[in-house]
A = this chain, B = another copy of it.
Amino acid sequence: MSEATTPHLVVVGGGFAGLWATRALAKAPLRITLLDRHNHHLFQPLLYQVATAGLSAPDIAAPLRHILRAQKNVEVRLGTAVDVKPDARQVQLSDGTLLAYDYLLLATGATHGYFGHGEWAAHAPGLKTLDDALRLRRRLLLAFERAEAEPDPEERAAWLSFAIVGGGPTGVELAGTMAEIARHTLKNEFRHIDSRLATVRLIEAGPRVLPSFPPDLTDKAQRHLASLGVEVLTGTAVSHVDATGYRLGDRFVPARTIIWAAGVTASPLAASLGVPLDRAGRVEVTPDLSVPAHPEIFIGGDLAAVRRENGQPVPGVAPAAKQMGRHIAKALQARLRGQTTPAFRYRDYGNLATIGRMAAIVHIGRLKLSGVLAWWFWLAAHIYFLVGFRNRFVVLVNWAMAYWSYQRAARIILGAPEPPAPPDQDD
């Protein structure tokens, strides 16, 4: 087939869904353009480690071009998609370019959702990209620096007051690690403050943290968080956030560092399709993961609203996104051959969450693990799934050293040539 007649697939988003679909199409009679606004694929499950200075940004990322260098039917393009025109079969980029497609895979994932309070975003940043993680790292480390330089006891307490909103896996991981940083990593390093007196509060609106796990495992996780020094508040919603703190019901809590790990909203690109979306902005897809009125458009990863056979939604986790990516590759190849496309079935390989140093919970079928054994399981799974041999090995070395010593290898404040500023000047 000549280039002119080979169908053109545009994949928007080089995350797990987009990258796994692209790789599964290595032998397909397609020209593929993989578009991403970053030059790298990101191993998002370890992003909290970059934010908490345990890993460097490059440890959990790999250049998309490098991953796909040998796949000759793919062109990687750095750019931001801002609009999809389904009728014209075009994707518009932020620089005005129109990218024509025969088939489209939208896999741009999700971003933070503030339940209609977008103004909270500046004071309670979330964690989705490496830039988010480096900003968060800077905020965390600077909060201790500012407390150390602050003569006023109330201000100082506010700098040492940390809150994480949202008790899902990311919230639990961040809370556990931040408590360890305050209690162990930094304990002898300041002269005017005792970092161990920092408050780390995890706030969850629902009745328990990690609601995707069975209650007995959740109980263990909450007890372990408490033993690390995390104050866990369940059944409690944050009703206000600003630069000086947050409100729980009618109680205002001064705090300079608030992290948002609660709502998730699908990428706004979904709205440009003009098709039905669910409450979180995700696209309601057909069983083969395409769009009802546009069979040439597939949706993968966190952007797709998909249900399991038991009626439960498919969770927004990396294994689900990879499965969708591979399924879409299969469905598209069936489509090219004129065959009917199979329906997507999510295979649940289990659920893992880590709580802090050497503790995790694991739920696989009837198997339930907690504590150190679960942590080793979690570690092995995450190392294994990191893209690329080098990353795996270096990550392992960094972690081994971090766990032996309680030290964190990446405690480097970047982009902060200036000294502590008052909170209203903060980013």
A residues within 8 Å of B by Cβ?
Answer: 37-40, 53, 56-59, 61, 63, 65-66, 69-70, 75-80, 93-95, 129-131, 134, 141, 145, 148-149, 186, 188-192, 390-391, 393-394, 397-398, 401, 405, 407, 409-421
Contacts and interface: CB of A to CB of B under 8 A. Distances in A.
A141 B39 contact: yes
Contact of A409 (B38, B58, B80, B141): B58
A188 B70 contact: yes
Q: Which 5 residue pairs of A and B lie closest in terms of their CB atoms, listed nearest first?
A: A56-B56, A58-B410, A79-B419, A65-B189, A39-B413
A411 B420 CA distance: 31
A129 B415 CA distance: 10
Contact of A397 (B63, B394, B405): B394
A136 to B, nearest CB: 13
A373 to B, nearest CB: 27
B145 A78 contact: yes
A187 to B, nearest CB: 9
Nearest to A66: B189
29 contacts: A37-B417, A38-B413, A38-B416, A38-B417, A39-B411, A56-B57, A56-B59, A56-B410, A58-B410, A58-B411, A65-B189, A66-B411, A69-B189, A70-B188, A75-B191, A76-B189, A79-B419, A79-B420, A80-B417, A93-B419, A94-B418, A130-B414, A131-B417, A134-B414, A390-B398, A390-B401, A390-B405, A391-B409, A393-B397
A145 B56 contact: no
Nearest to A134: B414
A415 B79 CA distance: 14
Contacts of A405: 390
Contact of A390 (B40, B69, B407): B407
Given A393-B397, A413-B38, A419 B69 contact: no
Contacts of A66: 189, 407, 411
A390 B409 contact: yes
B57 A412 contact: yes
B409 A394 contact: yes
A383 to B, nearest CB: 15
B95 A419 contact: yes
Contact of A131 (B70, B77, B390, B415): B415
Contact of A69 (B70, B77, B94, B188): B188
Nearest to A59: B56
Nearest to A404: B390
Contact of A40 (B59, B65, B413, B417): B413
A129 B59 CA distance: 21
A40 B417 CA distance: 11
Contacts of A56: 56-59, 410
Nearest to A75: B191
Contact of A65 (B149, B190, B415, B418): B190
Contacts of A93: 419
A413 B76 CA distance: 15
A32 B93 CA distance: 55
A207 to B, nearest CB: 37
Contacts of A411: 39-40, 58, 63, 66
B95 A414 contact: no
A75 B190 CA distance: 8
